[in-house]
Structure 1
Amino acid sequence: MDNQEADVIVIGAGIAGLSTAARAAEQGLGVVLVEKMSAIGGSSAMSGGWFAFTGTQEQQDAGIEDSIELFRSDLRKVGGYRNNPALVEAYMDNQLQTYEWLRAKGVSFGEVEISSGQSAPRGHSTRIREVLQLLHEDFTANGGETLFDARVTALDRNADGRVTGVIINDDTQLNAVLGVVIASGGFSRSRELLSVFAPEQLSAIPYGGPGNTGDGLRMGWKLGAGMADMSSISGTYGSHPETTDEQQELLTSYYMGGIIVNTDARRFVDESVDYKTLGSAVLTQPQALAFQIFDAPVRAKSHRGIALKDMDTLEDLGHLPSADTLEELAGLVGIPADQLVGTVDKYNAAIRGGEADEVGRTHLCNGVGELQPIEVGPFYAYPAKTLMTTTYGGLTFTPQGKVTDVDGEVIDGLYAVGEVTGGFHGAAYMTGSSLGKGSVFGCVVADTLASSYVGAVNG
């Protein structure tokens, strides 16, 4: 490192840190991006690559009807109305501008789908690793400096309590003129922190970036930062028990027409609710395991390479058993055949007769989509568990990204973006709003810092 001072220090090189760093660097700020792993990406690189935006060219091209009002309503509803309204409004105010900024950086958005927490298709698919690489290349081209294998072990404060820099690897001090931005991700890889904040989630499959051990959360906590949404943390339902870091599996066939049954072949939850709520429900079942059951018309909706609906790859892996009859299928996965047949018959009868569903299901996903009987073979069963992908609770912050303490007062010089923050999502989150939060508030924080720089110069 050529010097020991920068305008801005950003901790963590996932979507939140890269968006912050790239946006700040393009505005002429001297930015150092500090990453404790040996490469960029973090949990973002292991995600499905969905961003939640509305008013986009892709939506218009597909003839999708959506609006800011509906988007806001969906975010509040899926969050159990426990999200901070000011943070939701900040996202609404800046999401389209962020989408356009990403497109200007070369980001390509593919198909637009409806998914968890959405009542209109607004999940925009990307090749997320390409997105991260584009942002990092742009950051570097604008003079940004990246330090790899550099773990921030402490935050520096001056006598007035302002955060003025960081300590790296316990022995190197780096000062920040304008501020330090924590974008270090969550703590899905820390059993200690999960034991404290979400012990009921310990039986979920651990996932997320290998470096997601809660470093940033601990540092903010040590300075008295407040926390939000910690009691709502939940894994996502839909991953095969043998899913790996290299080959993530996450299927949401239940939003396409399938149902979910436990090891007794019985339904136990309304399959149309968000997949975080489903994740918690599955953890209460025997072996914390449940099977997605569906038929040929649902299987035909597979799209290879698109997260949440890639049944082709699952079948290639041998993780998607199929059979010509439900009885045979039950035998393949080891659940009671008579009960599975009875469960499906009851589901189909309710649909045909217009009767109340046994678990209260009325639509495919979040109040949208007509239910279809499961009746056309071959039939499929996907055994799946809850995957702890993100811990979406964390440090409290203002709509400008400034970290606040337990009394709601701003901790001067300290900002936070992405998974390490709490208050935006509330009880659960919508598909695409996690990566969306990282990019949207990353741009917001960068703009806030750039404004303070201009103000300091003019002052």
Structure 2
Amino acid sequence: MYIKPSGEDQETDVVVIGTGPGGLSSVGSAVAAGAEVIAIEAHDNIGGNGLLSTGWVIFVDTPMQRSQNIQDSVDLFMKDCKKLVDESSLIYGLVWDEKLSRIFAENSAEMYEILTKRGVRFDRLIKRPLQTSVDRLAAVEDTKMFPAAFERDFAGPHVKTYLQCSAQRLLVEDGVVKGVRVQPRDGSRSFIVRARKGVILATGGYQANPALRRHYQVDKTAMDIYPGLPTCRGDGHLLGQALGGDLVNMTMIPPIIAVASHLTESAIAVNISGCRFHDEAGPYLDRVKALEWQNQQKGFYIFDGKTFADKRFYVDQMPGERDSAATLEELAAKIGVPGDALTLSVQQWNNFLASGTDQEEGTGRVQFAPDRRGIIEAPFYSSPMISGVSLSVGGFVTTETMQVVDVFGQVIPGLFAVGDCAGGLTPTAEMGGTHLGGGFVLGWVAGRAAATGQNSLPHTSATFGQSMDQRVQMSGPIINVAAAQI
């Protein structure tokens, strides 16, 4: 049920703060386990950033893969994760929870079946050969299917949902999290929601909060544009941190070019010379680096009228001024690139798509729209390539059942974190689909654990009290520089 706040205090079994993928799944799981739930959502509707996403979700060894003779396994997934984490560790300080990642992989096929039985339709697998050994990234037909899959829970008698409300403080009694103080957006009186069994933090990331990002980024990048909702401001991170929750991977807010993957499938990018210069659908960091190498660090996405009409939802999310023209030559003049070069780039792209070849020579590109339709239908559009940041990666250390662990290595009783509030799985973000997939899979784990009380002990080391011996162990003889003969 969707409830308008009256200012009166409430009590329930499980409180879920946030209704993105992690919150949706937590609610569904807790209800399935027989719990009464109150959900608190800062936005106008349920669904969170999942609604605005491309809708690509990572699963391991699903019926969809097997139907295409793709052999996947938990071990293969873990191998891919380690490769990506090792690469990202050269840039960020990372703490990857291998045990939790394995739990995700072992439970992901079950979540695939839960979602599909609830009406979510995945229509294809996305190719990402530089990130994954096999195709395992499933594309949803429509991201609206995500909240729709859990609407029966939210509309049912066991759930009360307060929209346009934010959590202000966690309530602690005798060391146990027992509820949350809630503030409606309209400024009306705050109220308390008490939780008999647990509180689940599912408020998303912190990419919309420049003050929090400045704790982990330099000023310039802390103000870069971000994807998704402005309500992803780190509320859950700060609420849990106030109780001593151990945050990891907070510096990993990866740079990206601000464009939806759905759009890049049907677009190319050119520099100020009108020439293509990279794989537009390749790894996110590669796209950023490729743009940095271009003259004036300028580039433009080029797409046609049909793509604009079909993918308007994603086009409208792009920053910068969009241009359009009846011909490619006119469009080139508007954006200041040579008309003949732009026309040639589009012709070469169209010829590649028409050839039926799986991989484009030169760029190595393998991902494009399923219909392989070229840039052919006027008017033609351009949108500037603008660097920003991706979804934040940092979050809490948790147990296997998603209970938050504090800096002393102890569980914070009654408190759980899922989705982008949890930090153990998300260092694998470059794989794609782990933000959504992790939210759904581990949210289901958390909801069940909170509802049933079947929790696990911490499996990680405490951050508090750690130290490193500064003495350097030398294997060779010590040289007395002052006495050395030169």
TM-score range, shorter chain: 0.7 to 0.9
Query: Normalising by the residue count of structure 1, what TM-score does the alignment of the two structures yield?
Result: 0.75
Change in 2 beyond 3 A, CA 1:55/1:250: closer
Q: Cα offset for 1:307?
A: 8.8
Counterpart of 1:67 in structure 2 is 72
In the alignment, what sits opposite 1:275? 284
1:179-328 → structure 2 map (5 Å cutoff): 179-199=198-218, 200-202=220-222, 204-239=224-259, 251-253=263-265, 262-263=271-272, 273-276=282-285, 278-279=287-288, 282=291, 289-292=298-301, 304=310
Number of the residue aligned with 1:167: 181
- How is 1:294-443 mapped onto 2 (pairs within 5 angstroms)? 304=310, 331-335=333-337, 363-364=364-365, 383-388=384-389, 390-426=391-427, 428-443=429-444
Please state if 1:40 is matched with 2:59: no
In structure 1, stretches of 5+ residues that fail to align are 240-247, 348-359, 369-373
Query: How far is the alpha carbon of 1:454 from its aligned partner?
Result: 11
Contact 1:78/1:274 (8 A) holds in 2: no
One-letter identity of the residue aligned with 2:200: V
3-state SS, counterpart of residue 192 of structure 2:
strand
- Structure 2 Cα separation of the partners of residues 423 and 281 of structure 1: 30
Query: How much does 1:252 deviate?
Result: 2.6
CA distance in 2, matches of 1:391, 1:147: 25
SS in 2 for 1:415: strand
The letter for the 2-side match of 1:208 is G
Aligned residue for 1:36, secondary structure, equals coil
In 2, distance between residues paired with 1:267 and 1:236?
A: 18
Q: Secondary structure at the match of 1:13?
A: coil
Take 1:133 and 1:400, find their aligned partners in 2: how far apart are those partners? 26
Structure 1 residues 149-182: Cα deviation after superposition (integer angstroms, max 9, x where no partner)? 32110011123x2212111128422221221100
Partners of 2:432 and 2:224 lie apart in 1 by 19
Structure 1 counterpart of 2:39, one-letter code:
L
CA distance in 1: counterparts of 2:241 and 2:88, whole angstroms: 25
Residue type of the alignment partner of 1:135: F
Q: What's the secondary structure of 2:121's corresponding residue?
A: coil
Contact 1:14 1:42 in 2 (8 A): yes
Distance 2:241 2:58 in 1: 29
1:90 aligns with 2:103: yes
- In structure 2, the CA distance between the partners of 1:406 and 1:14, relative to structure 1 (3 Å rule), is same
1:219: how far off? 0.7
Question: What is the deviation of 1:21?
Answer: 0.6
Change (3 A) 1:428 1:268: farther
Check 1:235–1:44 CA distance in 2 against 1; reply closer, same or farther (3 A cut). farther
Corresponding residue number in structure 2 for 1:117: 131
Which is further off, 222-231 or 382-391? 382-391
Match of 2:93 in 1: none
> Does structure 2 conserve the Cα–Cα contact (< 8 Å) formed by 1:179 and 1:413?
yes
8 Å Cα contact 1:178/1:449 also seen in 2 = yes
Change (3 A) 1:263 1:203: farther
Task: Report the Cα offset of residue 292 of structure 1.
Answer: 4.4
Give the CA deviation at 1:380.
8.4
2:152 alignment partner in structure 1: 137
- Per the alignment, residue 244 of structure 1 pairs with none
Using the alignment, how far apart are the partners of 1:228 and 1:284 within structure 2? 32
**Displacement after TM superposition at 1:387 (Å):** 4.8
